[in-house]
Amino acid sequence: MRGMRRARSRTLARALALMCASACLASIVDASAYGSRATRNQRRAQREDAGAHFRAYTWGIGGERVGRPSDPSKLPPARVELEESVGEIVAVAASGHTAVVNERGELYTAGRNSSAGGGGHGSPPIDDSGQIGRGGDPGALERVRGDLVGEVVTSVGCGRYHTVVSTGSGRVYAFGLNDVGQLGTHGIMGEGPKRDVICDSGGRCEGIDQIKDALAEVGEKCIGGPACRMGEPARVKFENENVQIKSVVAGRYSSAAITKDGDVFVWGLNSCGDVSGHRDELVSHPRDAAKPRRVNIKDVVSIDIGYTNMIFRTSRGAVFTCDTGFTGYTAVAVNAKVAIVQHDFANEYKAIDVAAGRCHYAVATEAGTVFTWGCQALGREGDKMKPQPVGGDLASRSVETVAAGEYFTLVTTDSGEIYGWGSDANGQLGVQADSSNTFHSPVQVNVGPKVGTALAVAAGYQHSVAILQQKE
């Protein structure tokens, strides 16, 4: 297996060198996020046939976020609607919105552009939180411009109500809701919710007056506040202006980035690795929360952020996790384990991909096995909190990529199949949507006959996105 993987990697490297040369992409994508997934085409994409194309398909929940204005149905999986001139799709990400990147490094978005859906915790939404980064039809995939014009997008992450991207110049840009500093830069204060009690997007109402230092008048720059948001890309500044970012991710209320040297920075409500106990200060002072902070871990090649959790993979295939230190509703999690923990199973099974869901983890290994642990969407029986392999139909297959959404998990195999497990309430597993449908073992996602082979998947809150390789 290891020898075959090395040989395959050499073939892919040659194919991608040709693709990158023609597209002017210095690097393709090496990032992921909770509710989001960006591809790692360095390892997986195949374009050995000149007639092959990379195309994005969506399924689940339907409506604006599937990027198919003429057919916004949740099922069956169908190709997103983009002009042929957009070209090949090399990266995808998903949350309550969808993001795709083409081979020229242009970003296209569709989906929810408000902060509706706070989880039933009394959060008054704002109508223009801005996570699609543009005006126009939210149900159609349209290009995000602004400060991204002239940049080459190399990775994208979709958080609950915000989006982050990295570019070939080593910069980071963000847009969307900025109520707790998750953008890492300023927003513009919008009209607040018309309600006597001001809450943030997670339903936190008590103590909101503690962040008066971040509030601003409508139309002014802001960092923090329930209506602070940015509707177009804004650059994230790091203390060291020379830092070069390789990839980014976005979670519920935080963002993170990997430098080209393998260091990790976080901002927003994320205290991963910080045992000093200063989490209350991040909640009270979003200007402090918005400052990128280094995590004490080295040689990192991929990361993911879940609702309240984070996972890291190093170049050696080691796996580390930690809690962000917050509940997912902008409150401090008293019993959170923010210390970074290394997982022993990766000493024997080298990790090649990692994902963090709402409250679970998934890891693909060099042996082709996928390990899961956490609250649910595990696809197996046994101890939930101990990493254990997923069997069933995957026992005879080799998993290459993993994606973790809200209560569901998706994987792709080396033969180009997609499997999933967990909730299918909105059709996110590609099976008939049913509120009672929960799959406790892997089921194959039916993308239709002769559609193509899957290269990577993204798991959002209630929908899914995949890149499929198709031949003419």
User: Residues 382, 388, 393, CA angle at the centre, nearest 5°?
Assistant: 90
Q: What is the pLDDT of residue 194?
A: 56
Q: What is the pLDDT of residue 215?
A: 66
Q: What is the pLDDT of residue 472?
A: 67
Q: What is the DSSP letter of 429?
A: T
Q: What is the pLDDT of residue 442?
A: 97
Q: What is the pLDDT of residue 330?
A: 75
CB burial of residue 458 (10 Å; 0-12, 13-18, 19+): buried
Radius of gyration of the chain (CA): 20
Measure the CA–CA gap between 422 and 400, rounded to whole angstroms: 19
- Alpha-carbon distances, residue 275 vs 279, 283, 324, 420 (angstroms): 9, 16, 11, 35
Q: What is the pLDDT of residue 446?
A: 87
SS3 77: coil
Q: What is the pLDDT of residue 255?
A: 98
Q: What is the pLDDT of residue 87?
A: 96
Is residue 306 within 8 Å of residue 407, measured between CB atoms?
A: no
Number of Cβ within a 10 Å radius of residue 413: 22
Distance of CA 361 to the CA centre of its chain: 13
Q: What is the pLDDT of residue 22?
A: 33
Q: What is the pLDDT of residue 98?
A: 98
Measure the CA–CA gap between 108 and 137, rounded to whole angstroms: 12
Residue 134 sits at φ, ψ, to 5 deg, of: -165, 170
Contacts of residue 402, Cβ cutoff 8 Å, sequence gap at least 6: 353, 354, 355, 362, 363, 364, 370, 409, 410, 411
Q: What is the pLDDT of residue 321?
A: 97
Q: What is the pLDDT of residue 175?
A: 98
Q: What is the pLDDT of residue 405?
A: 96
SS3 58: strand
Q: What is the pLDDT of residue 24?
A: 34
Q: What is the pLDDT of residue 206?
A: 47
Which residue in 219, 218, 214, 217 sits closest to 178, CA to CA? 214
Enter the pTM of the model. Answer: 0.89
Q: What is the pLDDT of residue 216?
A: 83
Q: What is the pLDDT of residue 50?
A: 57
For the chain (length 472 residues), average pLDDT per consecutive 10? 29 34 34 38 44 92 97 96 97 97 98 77 72 98 98 97 98 96 95 58 48 71 91 97 96 96 97 88 92 96 95 98 88 89 92 96 97 94 96 96 97 96 95 82 87 93 95 73
Tokens of 217: 């008048």
Single-letter amino acid code for the residue at 465: V
Tokens of 402: 């993993």
